[in-house]
Amino acid sequence: MNAFEYAAPRTLDEALAVLGEHGDEARVIAGGTALVTMMRQRLVRPSYLVSLREIAGLDRIEAANGGLRLGALVTHREVETSPRVRERLPVLAETFRRVASVRIRHMATVGGALAHADPNQDPPVTLIALGARVEIRGARGRRELPLEEFFRDYYESALEPGEVVTGVVVPSLPTASGAAYVKFLPRTADDYATVAVAATVSLEPDGERCRTARIALGSVGVTPIRARAAEALLAGQRVGADLLRAAGESVKGAVDPLSDHRGSAAYKREMAAVMAGRALTQAWDAARASVRGTR
């Protein structure tokens, strides 16, 4: 690992000033699970590390416009165990619970994981299916993006030089809705998924027809992928096993997997269809249970 200087500013403005002064030589560090590994492998060699740990307010889970806001320094373990998250968005708590190991979840942060833009991560898949928006701060001010637009390419995000992720806002599910996250693991529970899928389904009051659906997939492209064609198949339709299966099959046209030690591209494409059908079925079942619970 190369030598570097370490800064721990106490305000976001101070952190942005350091980043602006040192440009490409500086990297933001939060949990450090990804960055430190990359530094040890000499994939990156920053001269300055700018810690966000001393900045107040970035480590909170808060109510926001009927949904939740996760600060950039909130750890995966904190999302997993938060009573507020478990009550309002249990699928989000479950998704974070399935990330790597407990040791990693205690260190890895929400903002750091998003900024790393690894297409094989679990949380972005569910966050995209839930319609999350990422908060960004830079010298020119604040901005927000739908999370699905934040990921641009393999390990590449929409962050401009000198910008940092400050949080992510996750809307609550509408009434008569359900959500699910599923993934297929090639080996152990702390490995990356071969395919990961999250789905949300919102039903009409009759509990049979789909009002809207959102489907997101991970580990099957250079970024997380939204399966819009599959969503369109479901919208306004009376839902049944055949339609859910057809929607799952249609994700094959959305994904663009790479062949690697977890499986060939063709295998991953087939698995994407299977897992999408499974996620949609679970989300549909949860939505129908929600409708029954309100009658």
CB-based contact 118:155 (threshold 8 Å) = yes
| CB neighbour list of residue 164: distance below 8 Å, 6 or more residues apart | 12, 15, 16, 19, 28, 52, 72, 111, 115, 136, 137, 138
User: Which residue from 251, 257, 244, 245 is spatially nearest to 228, judged by alpha carbons?
Assistant: 251
Q: Which two tokens stand for residue 4?
A: 């570097």
CB-based contact 69:169 (threshold 8 Å) = yes
pTM: 0.96
Give the CATH architecture of domain 177-294.
2-Layer Sandwich (3.30)
Residue found by looking up tokens 């799952």 in the block: 248
Amino acid 215: pLDDT: 99
Q: Residue 69 forms beta bridges with which residues?
A: 62, 169
CATH of domain 5-51: 3.30.43.10
Query: What are the per-10-residue average pLDDT scores of the chain (295 residues)?
Result: 89 97 94 86 90 97 96 98 98 97 96 97 98 98 98 98 98 97 87 96 94 98 98 97 97 97 96 98 96 75
Amino acid 295: pLDDT: 59
CATH of domain 61-170: 3.30.465.10
Amino acid 98: pLDDT: 96
Per DSSP, 22 falls in state H
User: Which residue from 219, 202, 220 is spatially nearest to 211, judged by alpha carbons?
Assistant: 202
Give the CA count within 13 Å in the CB-facing half-sphere of 96. 26
Q: Residue 50 forms beta bridges with which residues?
A: 7, 28
- Pairing assessment for the beta strands 164-170 and 67-71 based on DSSP bridges: antiparallel
Amino acid 293: pLDDT: 73
Q: Which two tokens stand for residue 192?
A: 């990356």
255: phi then psi, degrees, rounded to nearest 5: -90, 160
Amino acid 38: pLDDT: 86
Domain ranges of the chain: 5-51, 61-170, 177-294
Amino acid 189: pLDDT: 74
CA distances from 285 to 178, 186, 203 (A): 7, 27, 11
Amino acid 252: pLDDT: 98
